[in-house]
């Protein structure tokens, strides 16, 4: 019997294994994929945003309402601790103008290689192509290249990921083994479907800049992208939870001008100039914003200023779950104690994106996976020590 088995080799699982092995315990990691950290590596392709360097209160507020115990877990391994940890793995970091923290190497692979070397030095055993297939009594059943394997451990950490990006390992199939405690997955940090008219095809792939986006009580100045399938990008992702829950998306095409200023600009004489050219001249609207105004504003009302300041962006709902950056849903927080242990299965701890919480992009998701993995790993080690 091993002390602890960790199922899932993303950031949460690797962190759980690290802190447990540091306590001198025997640790096995099992992952269904041929190699570890696949979604982590994909996140680093455009620059590995490890965390957000900001004070504790705004950092925690970004996660929305959470139980006090989970807030404490996130606070105990927040941005400062994540940065310190990454530097112990030889990663030199820098902080961008928006507070986002990246390794100078930008990619995830150097950090992951150093991390795996640390785990190996701690004596952690890693099995790839081991897919968890549920329980066999108190033991864990795995389907492996060598046939079924049954493993017994004193404590178990489940870090199985969410339900998006199935090709990278986060396929959500584990929910069949924990049906009583799971809330169905929903997409998070995702794009939305828009059935564009033909005149928008020339703008596919274009960024929408110098706008303000709002949904419900949330507002952001982030950019978004027009794609053939709809609208996506950081500005949309920041509002995606509110939009998924039914809040309409509204775009201010001239956020640096008041409604009165827009009205005054539109009232300037335009002579024989077309309305489109007049809008371009007096409000400096670029072709993309003009196209959006035509797409969602036609036929134009007599008073165009309110529409420019609050253009409704009609969409047909979120893109499919497997295209989402992350997921909401998963193991309900009320099914866990303060140490992230399942009430119904003593000695089984849960961590990472498989928990029913939601983080925005910008470093929050990875940081929270590390923090919950750390909490679960420490708690599992404490559980073993008491046995």
3-state secondary structure labels for all residues of 338-370: CCCEECCCCCEEECHHHECCCCCCCCHHHHHHH
- Going from N- to C-terminal start, the domains of the chain cover 2-187+322-385, 192-313
pLDDT confidence of residue 328: 95
pLDDT confidence of residue 47: 92
pLDDT confidence of residue 150: 97
pLDDT confidence of residue 300: 95
Question: Token digits for 218?
Answer: 């949330």
Closest CA to 233 of 344, 313, 122: 313
pLDDT confidence of residue 26: 98
Q: How much is the pTM? A: 0.93
Q: CATH code for 2-187+322-385? A: 3.50.50.60
pLDDT confidence of residue 46: 84
- Positions of the chain with pLDDT lower than 50, given as ranges: none
Whole-number Å distance between alpha carbons of 372 and 340: 8
The single residue listed with the structure tokens 């990472």 is 352
Question: Is there a contact between 6 and 157 (Cβ–Cβ < 8 Å)?
Answer: yes
- The residues that bridge with 143 in the sheet, in sequence order, are 131, 148
pLDDT confidence of residue 44: 87
The per-residue pLDDT for range 160-185, each reduced to its tens digit, is 999 999 999 999 999 999 999 999 99
pLDDT confidence of residue 184: 96
Whole-number Å distance between alpha carbons of 377 and 354: 15
């Amino acid at each position: 019997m091993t002390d602890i088995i960790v199922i899932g080799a993303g950031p949460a699982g690797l962190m759980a294994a690290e802190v447990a092995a540091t306590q001198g315990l025997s640790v096995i990691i099992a992952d269904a994929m041929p190699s570890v950290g696949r979604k982590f590596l994909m996140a680093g392709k455009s620059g590995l945003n490890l965390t957000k360097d900001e004070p504790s209160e705004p950092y925690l507020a970004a996660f929305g309402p959470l139980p006090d115990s989970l807030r404490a877990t996130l606070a105990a391994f927040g941005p400062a601790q994540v940065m310190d940890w990454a530097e112990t793995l030889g990663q030199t970091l820098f902080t961008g103008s928006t507070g986002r923290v990246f390794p100078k190497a930008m990619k995830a692979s150097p950090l992951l290689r150093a991390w795996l070397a640390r785990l190996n030095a701690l004596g952690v055993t890693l099995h790839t192509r081991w897919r968890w297939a549920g329980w066999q009594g108190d033991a864990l059943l795995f389907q492996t290249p060598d046939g079924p394997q049954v493993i017994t451990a004193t404590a178990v950490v489940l870090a199985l990921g969410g339900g998006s990006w199935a090709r990278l390992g986060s396929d959500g199939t584990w929910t069949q083994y924990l049906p009583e405690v799971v809330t169905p997955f929903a997409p998070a940090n995702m794009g939305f479907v828009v059935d564009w008219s033909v005149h928008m095809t020339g703008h596919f792939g274009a960024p929408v800049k110098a706008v303000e986006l709002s949904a419900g009580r949330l507002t952001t100045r982030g950019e978004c992208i027009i794609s053939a399938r709809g609208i996506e990008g950081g500005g949309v992702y920041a509002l995606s939870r509110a939009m998924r829950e039914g809040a309409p998306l509204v775009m201010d095409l001239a956020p640096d001008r008041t409604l009165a200023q827009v009205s005054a600009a539109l009232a300037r004489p335009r002579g024989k100039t077309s309305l489109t050219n007049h809008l371009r001249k007096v409000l400096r609207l670029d072709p993309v914003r003009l196209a959006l105004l035509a797409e969602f504003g036609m036929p134009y009302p007599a008073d165009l200023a309110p529409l420019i300041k609050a253009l409704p962006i009609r969409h047909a709902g979120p893109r499919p779950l497997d295209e989402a950056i992350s997921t909401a849903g998963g193991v309900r927080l009320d099914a866990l104690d303060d140490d992230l242990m399942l009430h119904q299965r003593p000695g089984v701890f849960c961590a990472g994106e498989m928990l029913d919480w939601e983080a925005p992009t910008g470093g929050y998701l990875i940081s929270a996976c590390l923090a919950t993995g750390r909490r679960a790993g420490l708690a599992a080690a404490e559980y073993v020590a008491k046995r």
